[in-house]
């Protein structure tokens, strides 16, 4: 485990750095170093057409990384950054193809986590970073998860404890009019609607940003989703193997914060089938339910 200073030196040397954000841990490299960014895809086992988010220190840097920025984009950036929101913008020419999978757009985010903020401020540039897990696995919410997934595939890990939010950032494509919600997160649809004065377009079903799969965020065990604790008990009848029930209750913040750790625990305990009581479909519950549906999708 390393300090921010060591992590900044590693980024400058073209190495991979895992670092905490308020959502999940990221696996970062200098966004302008093609060779370093390629290492991210190799370490994760991620296909090259899945674009990466570029993380920067401050909302004021938006014009250094994007062009033709809409008013909606500027309003969202001003209100929600730093925070768990990724904006898909027209990319600045300084961003190499390897980051965006050749797309004309880039996902940009200003994290609020103090360690991420300090790292980005000291580094000064953009850090391309997906979640710091092997491709298709659940995202890491603590340094031990990063180590379990990536081991020595990552050069430096900065340990900032457990992440506060626990699910990945909200993604909004602000190159479209009205803006389109690509992934639910802690910046909720209601918040976006209040900020913009109109609702974003939504895609039907589990969120599918380009390069996203229906089956993703998945533990090894089979997930069965039910609507209530009572349904969990009847769902357990007739299942073979080790069956466990996850019923986190109605506190959505605790549910989101705990979710990925509980899924990893179930795998570590050798659970074959995990029956999960879904959250209420409001606010952060929409993000949680999106991830649960992807984790439960047939692989």
| Residues within the interface to ligand TXA (CB under 6 A) | 21, 23-24, 26, 50-53, 86, 88, 100, 103, 105-107, 109, 129-131, 168-169, 171, 182, 209-212
Residue 227 contacts residue 280 (beta carbons within 8 Å): no
100: partner contacted, choices ligand TXA, Mg ion, none (Cβ within 5-8 A by kind): ligand TXA
User: Which C-beta is closer to Mg ion: that of 100 or that of 131?
Assistant: 131
Residue nearest to Mg ion (CB): 131
What's the min distance (Å) between Cβ of 101 and ligand TXA?
8
List own/partner pairs for 259-262 with CB under 8 A and 24 or more apart.
Answer: 259/166, 259/167, 259/288, 259/291, 259/292, 260/24, 260/138, 260/139, 260/140, 260/141, 260/145, 260/166, 260/167, 260/217, 261/141, 261/142, 261/145, 261/162, 261/166
Q: How far is the CB of 217 from ligand TXA (least distance, A)?
A: 9
Examine residue 169 and tell whether it contacts Mg ion (CB under 5 A): no
Pick 131 or 207: Cβ nearer Mg ion:
131
Q: Which does 188 bind (CB under 5 to 8 A by kind): Mg ion, ligand TXA, none?
A: none
Residues in the chain: 299
Hey, which residues between 125 and 144 contact Mg ion (CB under 5 A)? 131
Q: Which does 51 bind (CB under 5 to 8 A by kind): Mg ion, ligand TXA, none?
A: ligand TXA
Contact flag: residue 33 with Mg ion (CB under 5 A): no
Which tokens sit at 215? 């089956």
Q: Which does 105 bind (CB under 5 to 8 A by kind): ligand TXA, Mg ion, none?
A: ligand TXA
Out of Mg ion, ligand TXA, none, what residue 209 binds, judged by CB under 5 to 8 A for its kind, is ligand TXA
Which residues touch 230 (CB under 8 Å, ≥6 apart)?
none
- For β-strands 66-67 and 85-91, DSSP reports them as antiparallel
Question: For the CA atoms of the chain, what is the radius of gyration?
Answer: 19
The nearer residue to ligand TXA, 20 or 285, going by C-beta atoms, is: 20
Q: What is the dihedral of CA 204, 209, 211, 215, to 10 degrees?
A: -50
Under the rule (CB under 5 A), what is the footprint of Mg ion?
131
């Amino acid at each position: 485990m390393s300090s921010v200073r060591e992590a900044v030196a590693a980024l400058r040397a073209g190495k991979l750095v895992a670092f905490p954000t308020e959502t999940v841990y990221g696996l970062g490299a200098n966004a302008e170093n093609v060779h370093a960014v390629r290492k991210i895809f190799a370490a994760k086992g991620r296909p090259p057409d899945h674009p990466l988010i570029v993380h920067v220190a401050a909302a004021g840097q938006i014009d250094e990384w994007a062009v033709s920025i809409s008013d909606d984009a500027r309003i969202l950036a001003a209100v929600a950054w730093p925070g768990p929101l990724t904006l898909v913008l027209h990319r600045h020419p300084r961003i190499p193809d390897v980051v965006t999978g050749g797309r004309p757009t880039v996902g940009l985010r200003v994290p609020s986590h103090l360690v991420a903020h300090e790292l980005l401020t000291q580094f000064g540039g953009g850090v391309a970073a997906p979640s710091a897990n092997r491709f298709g696995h659940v995202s890491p919410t603590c340094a031990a998860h990063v180590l379990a997934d990536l081991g020595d595939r990552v050069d430096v890990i900065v340990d900032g404890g457990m992440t506060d939010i626990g699910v990945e950032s909200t993604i909004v494509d602000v190159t479209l009019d009205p803006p389109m919600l690509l992934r639910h997160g802690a910046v909720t649809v209601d918040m976006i609607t209040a900020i913009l004065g109109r609702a974003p377009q939504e895609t039907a079903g589990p969120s599918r940003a380009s390069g996203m799969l229906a089956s993703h965020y998945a533990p090894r065990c089979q997930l069965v989703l039910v609507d209530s604790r009572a349904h969990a008990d009847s769902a357990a009848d007739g299942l073979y193997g080790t069956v466990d029930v996850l019923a986190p209750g109605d506190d959505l913040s605790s549910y989101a914060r705990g979710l990925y750790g509980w899924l990893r625990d179930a795998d570590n305990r050798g659970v074959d089938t995990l029956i999960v009581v879904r959250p209420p479909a409001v606010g952060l519950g929409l993000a949680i339910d999106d991830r649960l549906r992807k984790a439960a999708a047939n692989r």
